[in-house]
Amino acid sequence: MSNTSPDIQKLDLSLEQYAQIHPVHIEEKDGKKVIFSTPTIPTKWRAERLYINEPKTLEWINEFDPDDILFDIGANVGIYTIWAAATRGLNVIAIEPESQNYAVLNKNILLNNLKNKVTALCLAMSDEEKISELNLSSFTAGQALHGFDKPMNTVDVYSKKLEEFNPVFTQGCMSMTIDSLIERGIPSPSHIKIDVDGFEDKVIAGGMETIKKGKVKTVLIEINQNIDKHLEIVKNLENLGYQVDNKTDPNYIFRKF
C-alpha cells in the first residue's frame, strides 16, 4: 500500500506550473550561480535587486578569504548569506528571528546545497539573553522593520528615534548575545554584518568581549546618524581600534587597523 496521499498521486504538474507554485530567482555571474526562493513580492524584490540595493556590501563580501567566518545578524531571507557562502566559500552563521523569513532562509540554504557552509539560527540578537516577543510589522516573508521585546523600529534611516508601531502579529522569540553564542561553541566571527532596524547598539553591546579580542576584522553596520546611541557605536568601535573604512549611507564598514 502506498504511503502517498491519493491527491498527490494524481498530481501531474508541468515545469511551468511547478515554477509558479515554487518560484525562484537565479543569478549567474562570472561562472557563479545563486538561487533564491521567491514566494512573495518582497522576496522577489530582494532577489532581483541583488546587485542594486547594496553594491558596497557585495564588494565587502567579495574581499573575504574563503576560511573567514561571517555573522549575518538580521539575515532576513539570506540574500547576502547565500552570496557569501556560494561565491566565496565562507562559513556563515545567519541569524534571523522572524519565522517567515527564517523558513525562506533555510529554503535558500537547501536550494544552493549549502548545509555544510551555513548555520541558520532563529534568534534575535541583543545585549541580553531573554525570552520575549518579536513584534511583526508584516506577516510576509522578505519584510523587515520588526521589533524585539517592544513594538519599536526605525521607520527609515532618517528617523530621529525608534518609533512605536502596531504589530500585525506577535511571535514568541528568544534573544542571545554575540558573546553568549561564542561561549556556547559557535566559532568566533571574522566579519560581522548587522542590520536589525534600529537595535544595532544592543547587538554591539552584546558582542563587546568578542570584538575586544581582536579577531573580528571588519564590521558592517547600519548607522542612523540621527540616533545618539548609534553615534555611540562609532565611538565605541573607534576606541577598540576600528576605523570607518567605507561609508555608504546608511551602512558603515569598520575595519581593524
Label residue 226 by pLDDT band (50, 70, 90): confident
Closest CA to 240 of 201, 221, 218, 212: 212
- State the average pLDDT over residues 123-142: 97
Of 4-8, 43-47, 216-220, the range with the lowest mean pLDDT is: 4-8
Q: Is the CB of residue 147 less than 8 Å from the CB of residue 134?
A: yes
- Residue-wise pLDDT for 44-70, tens only, equals 999 999 999 999 999 999 999 999 999
Please, what is the angle between helix 55-62 and helix 79-88, to 10°?
Answer: 30
Distance, CA of 18 to CA of 30 (rounded, Å): 28
Of 80-84, 158-162, 209-213, 224-228, the range with the lowest mean pLDDT is: 158-162
Task: Please give the pLDDT value at position 22.
Answer: 86
Label residue 163 by pLDDT band (50, 70, 90): confident
Higher pLDDT, 247 or 92: 92
Distance, CA of 20 to CA of 244 (rounded, Å): 44
Long-range contacts of 231-237 (CB under 8 A, 24+ apart): 232/201, 233/200, 233/201, 233/204, 236/204, 236/208, 237/204, 237/211
Task: Parse the chain into domains and list their residue ranges.
Answer: 54-256
Closest CA to 239 of 206, 198, 204: 204
Of 9-18, 64-73, 89-98, 211-220, the range with the lowest mean pLDDT is: 9-18
- What CATH number does the domain located at 54-256 have? 3.40.50.150
Label residue 225 by pLDDT band (50, 70, 90): confident
Task: Please give the pLDDT value at position 8.
Answer: 45
Closest CA to 174 of 98, 93, 76, 75: 98
Give me the residues paired with residue 120 across strands. 94
Distance, CA of 175 to CA of 196 (rounded, Å): 13
